[in-house]
Amino acid sequence: MLQDQKYRSTLSGTLYSKLGIHVERCYQCGKCSAGCPAASAMDLKPSIILRMLQVENERYDREVLQSYTIWLCLSCHTCSTRCPMEIDIPRVMDVLRSESLRQNLIHPRAKDIVAFHVSFLNTIKRFGRLWEVGMIVEYKIRTRHFFQDVLLAPVLFLKGKLTVVPHKCVSIKQLFTWKKQESSL
């Protein structure tokens, strides 16, 4: 029985094959939505996302990938610690985000959030660790919010939080071997 689900072309099939998570387990108690700190800003509450995934049709799958919710999720794990059916919702959200990116179905209001994610990951890829200045510059170029929060910069600089020269990790290649392994799958 579990075999066939692996090959289902729906999002819940993808979730099962990537994470081994059964969205069918959700019995819609709503505890995740009740406890989620970001729920008030979400367009679809986490429990609704799971219900939509359970239905397994293209329309709902698309709506889920186009939702703002998946980008608002802070991965704070409040939901998964409380879930009576032990569904790891933040990991579900992670897969949904990567699917959304892959299919280019990103919610319009989430463009900035995606820009931040990309800038962050790019500095990591380049230096093996976070370089704030590089990330901020890239983020501002991507979003064109050149003057947003700019007054914070001097304070951060005086406290030594912004370094002009990046610290480089010794073996970045090693750090990213997992990445290559995953893409070869």
> What is the closest distance, in whole angstroms, from the C-beta atom of residue 85 to other proteins in the complex?
9
Sole window of 31-39, 44-52, 68-76, 87-95 interacting with other proteins (rule: CB under 8 A): 44-52
Is residue 93 within a helix (H) or strand (E), and if so which, with residue range? Answer: helix 89-102
Residue 2 interacts with other proteins (CB under 8 A)? yes
Sole window of 45-53, 76-84, 107-115, 131-139 interacting with other proteins (rule: CB under 8 A): 45-53
Residue 28 interacts with other proteins (CB under 8 A)? yes
Whole-number Å distance between alpha carbons of 55 and 150: 46
DSSP state of 166: P
> Binder to other proteins among 32, 39, 52, 136 (CB under 8 A)?
52
> What is the closest distance, in whole angstroms, from the C-beta atom of residue 19 to other proteins in the complex?
15
What six digits make up the tokens of 152? 């914070």
Q: Quote the longest CA-to-CA distance of the chain.
A: 61
* Nearest to 114, CA basis, from 131, 97, 126, 99: 97
Sole window of 54-62, 69-77, 136-144, 175-183 interacting with other proteins (rule: CB under 8 A): 54-62
User: Hunting for tokens 């329309």 — which residue is that?
Assistant: 59
Return the number of the residue (56 or 112) whose C-beta is nearest other proteins.
Answer: 56
Whole-number Å distance between alpha carbons of 115 and 135: 10
Burial class (CB in 10 A: 0-12, 13-18, 19+), 4: exposed
Sole window of 52-60, 92-100, 103-111, 172-180 interacting with other proteins (rule: CB under 8 A): 52-60
Residue 51 interacts with other proteins (CB under 8 A)? yes
> What is the closest distance, in whole angstroms, from the C-beta atom of residue 7 to other proteins in the complex?
12
> Binder to other proteins among 41, 55, 76, 121 (CB under 8 A)?
55
Other beta carbons within 10 angstroms of residue 82's beta carbon come to 14
- Interface with other proteins (CB under 8 A): 1-2, 5, 22, 24-25, 27-28, 48, 51-52, 54-56, 60
